[in-house]
Structure formats: C-alpha cells, structure tokens
Amino acid sequence: MEAAVRAAAGRCLAGLCFDMGAKDAAVAADAVDTLCALLEDPDLGARRAACAALVSVTTTDEGKRRMVPAEPRPRDAVAAIIALLAEPDAYLTTAACKLVANVAVHPKARAQLREDKECLPAIDALIAGPGTDQDALVAQHARIAKDAVLWEP
C-alpha cells in the first residue's frame, strides 16, 4: 500500500474515533495492531496518522489493554511509542506524548515506559526544548506524559 494511502487511512480513523462508538468499533476490528505497526512506517505522514488514531483509541480501557496484549505481537508497541519521542517532528512528538500519557494508565505499559532506558530521558529532552512556541506545546504534553509514567498507585 502506498504511503499516501496509509497516511490517509490513519487520518480518517483518527477523525472517526472522536466518537466513542467508532473507538469501540476500531478496537473490535483489531485496528490497534495495525496502527501499532504503522508507528514504525517509513512515511512520516503514516506515523503521524497512526499515532493520532491511537491517541483517540487509547482513551478507552480496551484500547489501553490492546496496547499491551497477552500474546506478544511482532513489534512492541510501547517500544515504538518511545522511539517516536525522539522524532524531529513536533506534531508527532506531541501526539506521542499524548499516547504515552494514555497508555501509562495500564500498569504493564507504565512499568515498561518507566524501565526503558530511553523513555524518561527523551521526555526530559522534550520538556527542556529550545524554547519556541511549538516547543512549549510539546513540553506541556511531555510534562503530562512524564507525570503519567511516574505516577504511583
């Protein structure tokens, strides 16, 4: 499938998933696995769209559970999210921070995020950003993500 088609499909799903019924339908249709695979797509637009769709889907409990499935998937979704935190694209890193905050509610995901050697340093780097208006928005979401990762029950 062409990169433009993957990106358009992800954007469409992200838009549709503002509706709770659409989120549930996406989860039921195993969209989480497909979207997780797209987090590592070579096309920036596809990564952006997949991340945005997952931000929406993971506002549901089942969406969060699907991010940490009982059966391992070929690609580790949490590791893919962590890799997105180092992307040079502000839109993508902002969405990745939102996704970290969402999935950190799940204890297994939170433990994986907390234990990863790259996660918190990447978040801290986003918080410290160079100081542009766009960096301020990224930093705001990075602080929220860090709080979610470090939260203790």
Summarize pLDDT for 6-32 with one digit per residue, the tens: 888 778 777 777 778 888 888 888 889
pLDDT band at 93 (very low <50, low <70, confident <90, very high): very high
Residue 64 CA to residue 78 CA, distance in Å, equals: 11
How much is the average pLDDT of 108-126? 95
Q: What is the distance between the alpha carbons of residues 45 and 22, in angstroms, rounded to a whole number?
A: 22
Q: What is the mean pLDDT of the chain?
A: 89
Main-chain phi, psi angles of 25, to 5 degrees: -65, -40
Q: Quote the pTM value.
A: 0.90
User: Given pLDDT bands bounded at 50, 70 and 90, which one contains residue 132?
Assistant: low
The label of the residue with tokens 């070579």 reads 42
Residue 69 has pLDDT above 90, yes or no: no
- Buried/exposed code over 132-142 (b: 16+ C-beta within 10 A; e: otherwise): eeebebbbebb
pLDDT value of residue 74:
60
User: Which residues are CB-neighbours of 59 under 8 A, at least 6 positions away?
Assistant: 23, 102
